[in-house]
């Protein structure tokens, strides 16, 4: 979903740029509380993994493709604030080094792929983890559903931005329908990749998954209680 230069007009791009600067600034503060001995060494690796996986466009229907955005994945693994930072670094490197995503559109792309997908992906996963039974095995499916929802959410934000500052006079209903339709399909891929990646880390070191901490703490309490009874 890398927006190139020219899709959105200058005022809209400046506004999204300002929002992105504020969001990254807030994330830099928030990340301090998340970054401990477990998340800190993992964060760089998660960003590198998101970059690598974003290169892998998978075919969606006829003639189009999609790739991971990674906001939900990063948020679940290292926490939402750190997740915003990880995906922002990926987007900045992609734009400056690989000419992928416009330079004037960098704020827009951070808003869509680093902020929207992290916020929506984290919120949905978190609510599911809280509602579901406290089992480590349910963290990966919760993350997958959060990831799935985050993609059409980002597509909706793009459509809203285009309604405000799009540079071509096109039907907004056509745009909204097409963006939501295709990105719901792409979201399925986002969900599958997130499920596999989170599941893989959970299977070897569940304690490294930020979103699983509450679940593990509760499970350990139950185990301790059972041992105390026995």
Q: Which of residues 65-104 bind another protein (CB under 8 A)?
A: 65-67, 82, 85-86, 89-90, 92-100, 102-103
Give the integer Cα–Cα distance in Å for 200 and 3. Answer: 31
User: In this structure, what token pair is assigned to residue 16?
Assistant: 């999204």
The CA distance from 183 to 65, in Å, is: 10
Residues 13-32, mask of contacts with another protein (x by CB under 8 A): ---------------x--xx
We find the least distance from the C-beta atom of residue 207 to another protein, in angstroms, to be 8
For position 194 contacting another protein by CB under 8 A, the verdict is: no
**How far is Cα 67 from Cα 56, in angstroms, rounded to an integer?**
6
Size of the site for another protein (CB under 8 A): 74
Nearest to 76 by CA among 39, 111, 44: 39
What b/e readout covers 107-123, taking b as 16+ CB neighbours within 10 angstroms?
bbbbbbbbbbbbbbbbb
Q: CA-to-CA distance for 185 and 191, rounded, in angstroms? A: 10
One of 12, 13, 51, 76 touching another protein (CB under 8 A): 51
Supply the minimum distance, in Å, between the C-beta of residue 62 and another protein. Answer: 9
Counting contacts by CB under 8 A, is residue 210 touching another protein?
A: no
Residue ranges in 109-168 that form contacts with another protein under rule CB under 8 A: 155, 158, 166-168
In this chain, which stretch among 15-23, 126-134, 141-149, 177-185 interacts with another protein, using CB under 8 A? 177-185
> What's the closest the beta carbon of residue 60 comes to another protein, in angstroms?
7
Q: Which is nearer to another protein, 127 or 170 (CB)?
A: 170
CA 38 to chain centre: 20
């Amino acid at each position: 979903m890398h927006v190139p230069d020219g899709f959105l007009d200058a005022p809209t791009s400046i506004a999204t740029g300002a929002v992105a600067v504020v969001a990254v600034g807030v994330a830099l503060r928030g990340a301090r509380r998340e970054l401990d001995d477990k998340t800190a060494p993992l964060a760089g690796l998660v960003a590198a993994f998101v970059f690598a996986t974003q290169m892998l466009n998978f075919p969606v229907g006829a003639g189009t493709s999609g790739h991971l955005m990674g906001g939900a994945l990063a948020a679940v693994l290292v926490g939402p604030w750190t997740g915003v930072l990880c995906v922002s670094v990926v987007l900045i490197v992609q734009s400056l080094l690989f000419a992928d995503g416009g330079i004037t559109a960098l704020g827009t792309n951070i808003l869509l792929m680093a902020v929207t997908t992290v916020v929506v992906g984290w919120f949905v996963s978190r609510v599911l983890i809280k509602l579901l039974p406290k089992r480590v095995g349910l963290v990966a499916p919760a993350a997958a559903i959060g990831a799935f929802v985050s993609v059409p959410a980002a597509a909706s934000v793009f459509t809203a931005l285009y309604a405000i500052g799009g540079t071509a006079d096109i039907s907004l209903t056509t745009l909204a329908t097409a963006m939501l339709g295709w990105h719901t399909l792409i979201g399925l891929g986002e969900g599958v990749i997130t499920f596999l990646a989170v599941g893989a880390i959970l299977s070897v070191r569940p304690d490294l998954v930020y979103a699983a901490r509450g679940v593990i703490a509760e499970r350990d309490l139950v185990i301790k209680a059972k041992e105390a009874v026995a």
